[in-house]
Structure 1
Amino acid sequence: MTESTKNSDKNGLTHLNAAGEAHMVDVGQKAVTERSATATGYVEMQPQTLQMINDGNHKKGDVFAVARIAGIQAAKQTSQLIPLCHPLMLTKIAVELTAQPELSRVRIEATCKLAGKTGVEMEALTAVSVAALTLYDMCKAVDKSMTITGTTLVAKSGGRSGNWHA
């Protein structure tokens, strides 16, 4: 059985073997390359909720700082949360939250980087997701109508498949 047969099913899904069973992909023979991934997402809210966050008037403190730290922590724990993800030695995790008052939302962007044998897309997506959930958690008492939307991978670089942009 070839390596590609062992690491993918007949449809090319790498986390399923030829028998359709889930397994962790063996990346041992892959080359180490510089890899990065960027994901974005949004938390939509009432205008007054966003104003409260921007003005620093939230009783729980700096909402953006707490959400940023939560996103960074989440990226580092991705392999503990997503069953078939490899534990990675990330060299950079950047999480930025930007108020977009004209749209009544917060934009969250996370970028993860490393030199390794597997990509960091899941880490970037996890960082955005947990930052959004943290923002929601901190503000739910004042705005139960918040919505988390549009979490998506927007770019990745490195590895066998090369660069990709949405």
Structure 2
Amino acid sequence: MRRYSQLPGAGRQDTLADRVHRYRGVLLVVLAPLALVSLVLLLMPRAPAGAAQRPLGGGAGAAGGKKYAVIFDAGSSGSRVHVFCFDGNLDLVHIGTDIELFVQKKPGLSAYAQDPREAAQSLVSLIEKAKEVVPAELRDQTPVRVGGNSRAKSFGSRKIRRDFASG
């Protein structure tokens, strides 16, 4: 009669193949995620595209690597201009003591409902304020966005952009 306390082959040592076969489920659970993580890290780019072209030390340019963005909000109750300044990492940089230039002018475009030329002329002072902040050599590279009511769009944002970019 056989004793159950003794297993067959208890005196022999398992081979590596036996151990791998016995623990194949554990190995699969551990090695599959490791393989996926390794594959993702291998395929991931080491640096952002274009980082190699960027010079060290904040970039070159006429204004020390600064970039600007201008947003005109030509509304019916008032017109506004926002000018933002960014460094080479696209972090906001102060313009004077504030993080942006903000100028508001009232009345808005609805006051000039009968005269589109006068409505366009009412934005000239806002364009001039934006020009005071953005260096002349960067104006043609500066994105200008115009938002507002349908009246603002009727005389067109191209004219505002052209007037801003002109010296």
Structure with a larger share of its residues in helix = 2
Common fold by TM > 0.5: no
Q: What TM-score, normalized by structure 1, do the two folds share?
A: 0.30
Q: What TM-score, normalized by structure 2, do the two folds share?
A: 0.30
Q: Which structure has the larger Rg over C-alpha atoms?
A: 2
Structure with a larger share of its residues in strand = 1
